[in-house]
């Protein structure tokens, strides 16, 4: 029934919402009027953390669902939750200091690659039967 994949998808939407909120709060705090995207390093880090998260979600969600449907659903769930944790570590780390985003990025990247491999293996296996 893929309930965990659905929950992970909902949590991903909440992570995106949090990133939007953090950008808005930084914009307000540092007096950066829309549509400007530069002007204060603290705001710029929040903006980039949000944009990078949006870019990652575009790849993450299809990989999650392909792995859950065609691969091993339990492993896909673990990797999906790991991606959420990694993305939160990335988001808050990047906002604090650009150099603090690496651990979160690595957690998310490993989870994403794992999901993609799991999904591709499942798809190929299904095509061969």
Burial class of residue 108 in the structure, from the number of CB atoms within 10 Å of its CB (0-12 exposed, 13-18 middle, 19+ buried): buried
Distance (Å) of CA 103 to CA 22, 61, 93, 121, 126: 20, 21, 9, 27, 35
Q: Which residues does the chain have with pLDDT short of 50?
A: none
pLDDT number for residue 40: 96
- Looking at residue 1, what is its pLDDT? 86
End-to-end CA distance of the chain: 22
Q: How many domains does the chain have?
A: 1
CATH number at residue 15: 1.20.120.550
pLDDT, position 65: 98
Per the listing, tokens 């979600």 go with 57
Say how far apart CA 122 and CA 92 lie, in whole Å.
34
pLDDT of residue 96: 96
The reported pLDDT for the residue numbered 107 is 98
Domain range enclosing 24:
3-128
Write out pLDDT tens, residues 57-87: 999 999 999 999 999 999 999 999 999 999 9
Number of Cβ atoms within 10 Å of the Cβ of 99: 8
């Amino acid at each position: 029934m893929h309930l965990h994949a659905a929950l992970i998808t909902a949590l991903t939407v909440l992570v995106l919402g949090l990133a939007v909120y953090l950008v808005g709060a930084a914009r307000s705090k540092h007096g950066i009027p829309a549509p400007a995207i530069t002007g204060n390093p603290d705001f710029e880090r929040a903006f980039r953390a949000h944009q990078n998260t949006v870019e990652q979600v575009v790849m993450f969600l299809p990989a999650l669902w392909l792995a859950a449907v065609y691969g091993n659903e339990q492993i896909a769930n673990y990797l999906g939750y790991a991606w959420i944790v990694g993305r939160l570590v990335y988001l808050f780390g990047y906002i604090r200091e650009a150099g603090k985003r690496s651990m979160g990025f690595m957690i998310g990247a490993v989870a994403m690659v794992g999901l993609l491999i799991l999904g591709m293996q499942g798809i190929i296996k299904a095509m061969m039967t």
